[in-house]
Amino acid sequence: MIYRFMEGLGQYFLFLGEVFHKPEHWREYSKSFFREIELLGFSSIGLVAFISVFMGAVLTIQTAINLGDPFVPDSYIAIAVREGIILEFAPTIVSLILAGKVGSNIASTLGTMRVTEQMDALRVMGINPASYLVLPKLFACLLFNPILIVFSMALGLIGGYYAGDFLGLVNTEIYIMGYFDDFDPFFVVYSLIKTFVFAFIIGTVSSFFGYNVEGGAVEVGKASTKSVVTMSFSIILFNYILTNLLLQ
Amino acid sequence: MIRIEGLQKSFGEQHVLRGIDVDFYEGQCNLIIGLSGSGKTVFLKSILGLHSVDGGSISFDGRILGEMSKKEVKSLRQEMGMVFQGSALFNSLSIEENVRLPLDFFSNMTPEEKAERVRFCLQRVRIEEESFGKTPAELSGGMQKRVAIARAIVLNPKYLFCDEPNSGLDPETAIVIDQLIHEITHEFGMTTIINTHDMNSVLEIGDHVILMEQGKKAWEGRMDEVLSSDDSSVVDYVFRSNLFKKLRTALHKS
């Protein structure tokens, strides 16, 4: 098992070597990049917005119920919700969801291109398929995922505020003040660093599995599932490593 | 001309190509025939450089593939066009964009010149202008094959490769595709290599026919020699079906 893991890791780094070839036709890559931004980025806004609003709302309700003590000011609930959303829920949970949505899309798209010989067609034309197909997707993830996460943080906080107000769980004036109390901007930086690493994992791991599919439609499905599982493991593992490195 | 000498390729213990020597001539449709598993596709992909070979050499008009630098191989690739079995068109691009892609990468043409070249190639394979904006999924199998041919010839290649261009097509469309490849080969003086199972293609357009058997060249000749040959490999391959057995008997009687 360790041998297989090391072999897979080696293949992954060889694949990265192929991907990071200097593009010779920037214009074609940039066209592809904008297509990917639309396909992988903009199409995820609705999902991220929906999840973030309700995530913030649930977090506020749970925190308010658990801290339901007249001696605990509502601003403490807001602080707990804020830290929860900025430090963990927005970067990690949303990245896990993006790994499922965007990652499986990338793996199945590339896998299908592999089994239908579209990659061979590119190679025959003299185009490096790894670089041409993967780099735009990777850069789209690296650029757009942090934007989505900041968007998710904002919507999570707004969702939390409205849930508290709507259900009458908090005094809204004190609650909103709590959002700004003792705020450490480094927490946002920490979240963005995590998001950047997670975006790299999503972009490259899903591409690796899709790019190396052999067989037919069944193998494409299997590769897509494997990529989501591997991405989820990697995100959780790197979440731990980065938290240890950056917050201690 | 493409010259193959002693070509060998194995996948682990399995020897797929066992020393093939053959010349493919310019301005001719060179057909490779053989049973499934005889090594035709591996042979074609090895010539294209999609598979690394274990032995032998492949030369394109005297330029040996294995001795070329990466830059030279890249430039050679621009002299090649390939029509894949499943067409291999890019689903995210329109028909026009599919055909224009090689030009976007490898030509210094202005956008107007590219549009003109794309229009010429698509009209040459009889694709109507109203289909230019469609995606491959909106086209029939025969039309997809024609677009794949247009994409393969857009850079005006010297070498055209076709892997089972008729597979999955009805007999009438298959004849249209065969004739199109034949016409284009003669019109542009290309060296065309076609992998096929289709005996009709062999008899229609086989200027030069190579029969492969278990990774070796079993026979080679012209299309008119296929039916009259007494070579056991040819007889075994060609006259498997009852139709061709009857045809052979009729030929012998006449």
pLDDT tens per residue, range B79-126: 999 999 888 999 889 999 999 999 998 888 999 999 999 999 999 888
Task: Please name which of B226, B246, B230 lies closest in space to residue B238, comparing C-alpha atoms.
Answer: B226
d(CA B218, CA B179): 26
| B94 at A interface, C-beta within 8 A | no
Interface of B with A in 48-87 (CB under 8 A): 48, 50, 74-75, 77-78, 80-82, 84-86
Name the amino acid, one letter, at A172.
T
Q: How far apart are CA A182 and CA A170, in angstroms?
A: 19
Which chain A residue has the Cα nearest residue B105?
A25
Q: How far is B49 from chain A (nearest CA, A)?
A: 8
Structural domain for A193, as ranges: 25-247
Q: How many CB atoms lie within 10 A of CB A141?
A: 30
Please indicate if any CB of chain A lies within 8 Å of the CB of B162. Answer: no
The DSSP-derived string for B44-82 is HHHHHTSS--SEEEEEETTEEGGGS-HHHHHHHHTTEEE
For chain A, 248 residues long, give each residue's pLDDT as a single digit of tens: 888 889 999 999 999 999 998 887 888 889 899 999 998 889 999 999 999 999 999 999 999 888 877 777 888 889 999 999 999 999 999 999 999 999 999 999 999 999 999 999 999 888 899 999 999 999 999 999 999 999 999 999 999 999 988 988 888 888 888 888 888 999 999 999 999 999 999 999 999 999 999 988 999 999 999 999 999 999 999 999 999 999 87
Give Cα A211 to chain centroid, integer Å.
20
pLDDT over threshold 90, residue B238: no
Please, what sign has the CA dihedral across residues A61, A64, A67, A68?
negative
Contact call for residues B9 and B54 (beta carbons, < 8 A)? yes
Interface of A with B in 18-47 (CB under 8 A): 25, 27-28, 35
Question: How close does chain A come to B78, measured CA to CA in Å?
Answer: 6
Closest residue of A to B104, CA-based? A28
Q: Which residues of A touch B75 (CB under 8 A)?
A: 126
Which residues in B lie closer than 8 A to residue A118 (C-beta atoms)? Answer: 88-91
pLDDT range class, residue B227, cuts 50, 70, 90: confident
- Interface check for A125 against chain B (CB to CB < 8 A): the answer is yes
Judging contacts by C-beta atoms under 8 Å, the chain A residues touching residue B77 are 124-126
pLDDT of residue A119: 93
Domain count, chain A: 1
DSSP string, chain B: -EEEEEEEEEETTEEEEEEEEEEE-TTEEEEEEE-TTSSHHHHHHHHHTSS--SEEEEEETTEEGGGS-HHHHHHHHTTEEEE-TT----TTS-HHHHHHHHHHHH----HHHHHHHHHHHHHHTT--GGGTTS-GGGS-HHHHHHHHHHHHHTT--SEEEEESTTTT--HHHHHHHHHHHHHHHHHHT-EEEEEE--HHHHHHH-SEEEEEETTEEEEEE-HHHHTT---HHHHHHHTTSHHHHHHHHHHHH-
Q: What is the pLDDT of residue B49?
A: 87
| Helix B141-153 and helix B95-106, axial crossing angle in degrees, nearest 10 | 20
* pLDDT at residue A135 in the model: 95
Q: Return phi, psi of residue B109, to 5°.
A: -70, 155
pLDDT tens per residue across span B18-34: 999 999 988 899 999 98
DSSP A22: P
Cβ under 8 Å to B: A residues 84-103: none
Task: Report the SS3 class of residue A198.
Answer: helix
Query: Which residues from chain B sit within 8 angstroms of residue A113, using beta carbons?
Result: 90
With respect to residue A18, please indicate whether it lies within any of the assigned structural domains. no
Determine the distance in angstroms separating the CA of B244 from the nearest CA of chain A, rounded to an integer: 33
The ipTM assigned to this model is 0.85
List of chain B residues whose C-beta atoms are within 8 Å of the C-beta of residue A117: 84-86, 88
DSSP state of A69: -
pLDDT value of position A144: 94
Q: In which element (H, E) is residue B210 found?
A: strand B208-213
Contact A126 B74 (CB under 8 A): yes
Distances (CA, A) of B12 to A4, B54, B172, B194: 19, 11, 41, 27
Tokens of B44: 């074609």
Asked if the structure places residue A158 within a domain, the reply is: yes
Cα(B151)–Cα(B149) distance, integer angstroms: 5
B186 touching chain A per CB within 8 A: no
CA distance A171 to B253: 104
> What's the pLDDT band for B160 if we cut at 50, 70, 90?
very high
- Enumerate the domain spans of chain B: 89-156
Nearest-CA residue of chain A relative to B100? A28
Closest Cα in chain A, distance from residue B58 (Å): 16
CA distance A41 to A149: 11
A121 touches B: beta carbon within 8 Å? yes
Q: What is the pLDDT of residue A28?
A: 86
Mention every residue, 6+ apart, whose C-beta is less than 8 A from residue B135: B91, B92, B93, B94, B95
| Contact of B162 with B197, CB cutoff 8 Å | no
Alpha carbon distance B185, B193 (integer Å): 10
CA distance B35 to B37: 6
Residue pair B158/B59 in contact by the 8 Å Cβ criterion? no
**Which of B48, B89, B105 lies at the smallest CB-CB distance from A124?**
B48
Which residue in A31, A106, A117, A214 has the most chain B C-beta atoms within 10 A of its own C-beta, making it the best mutation to test that interface?
A117
In a domain, A5, yes or no: no
A interface mutation test: which of B48, B105, B145 has the most A CBs within 10 A? Answer: B105
The C-alpha atoms of residue B35 and residue A226 are separated, in whole angstroms, by 36
Banded pLDDT at B7 (limits 50, 70, 90): very high
The answer to whether residue A180 is domain-embedded is yes
CB–CB contact A127 B105 (8 Å): yes
CA-CA-CA-CA torsion sign (A158, A160, A163, A169): negative
Mean pLDDT, chain B, whole residue set: 88
Under 8 Å CB pairs connecting chains A and B tally to 47
Residue of B nearest to A125 (CA): B77
